Chains A and B, each alone.
Chain A
Amino acid sequence: QVQLVESGGGVVQPGGSLRLSCAASGFMFSSYGMHWVRQAPGKGLEWVAFLRYDGSNKFYADSVKDRFTISRDNFKNTLFLQMNSLRAEDTAIYYCANVEGNYFDSSATYLEYFQHWGQGTLVTVSS
């Protein structure tokens, strides 16, 4: 069955770095765009970053742009998130998810959704 397993979270001081990993299995990882989404304690879901299936296109939320880098290794079926210059407000559970759909339907409306999610890894930024 499909599995997404995040790892690499932990406690880090402000200004520090962490690298998250998301190991995928049970589906053709190299054919899917992948996202990172986070949820801060007591807050809502926040989209973080997207990487196209072949690594050719990537987008970031303004809150993490120029500090976080999304990448992937399609041979190892693994997604990464390099997080630098971490701030207290980056404290959250980080989830990886694959995106399905990605097409315009007969009414010219774009359809996509996060099909599978990992269980998340907790990142705590604190001194």
Chain B
Amino acid sequence: SSELTQDPDVSVALGQTVRITCQGDRLRSYYASWYQVKPGQAPICVMYGKKNRPSGIPDRISGSTSGDTASLTITGAQAEDEADYYCCSRDSSGTRVVFGGGTKVTVL
């Protein structure tokens, strides 16, 4: 089992807001980063650090962290936001990288 826990599936109505969470003890010391993966495409980073958004990522995607939980929020979800989202951080040793199990976001 992963050291980072994500809900496997969430759905959101078009234009509504959805929050994805990632829980893990190491998130108290290591920020999570978040990756969007669409079928047949390479992952892209959509959030990192406290609330840093890479260039080109729409501002409807935001992030936050509190204690052992990191969150990714999509405000006003669009059809193109339908994808798998993975959080990423360090394992308990701090030397290896670990991904959460992923959350499949469905936009209805």
Contacts and interface: CB of A to CB of B under 8 A. Distances in A.
A113 B48 contact: yes
B33 A109 contact: no
B43 A114 contact: yes
A95 B43 CA distance: 9
Interface residues of A, number: 28
B74 interface: no
A49 to B, nearest CB: 9
Contacts of A112: 30-31, 33, 48
A44 B102 contact: yes
B45 A59 contact: no
A12 B49 CA distance: 39
The DSSP consensus for interface residues of chain A is strand
A114 B31 contact: no
Nearest to B8: A44
Contacts of A118: 42
Contacts of B88: 45, 47, 113-114
Contacts of B86: 44-45
B50 A114 contact: no
Nearest to B41: A119
B90 A110 contact: yes
B5 to A, nearest CB: 12
Interface in A70-127: 95, 97, 101, 105, 107-115, 117-120
Nearest to A47: B97
24 contacts: A37-B43, A37-B99, A44-B86, A44-B101, A44-B102, A45-B37, A47-B88, A47-B96, A47-B98, A59-B96, A95-B42, A109-B29, A109-B31, A110-B30, A110-B31, A111-B48, A111-B49, A111-B50, A112-B31, A113-B45, A113-B48, A113-B49, A115-B45, A120-B42
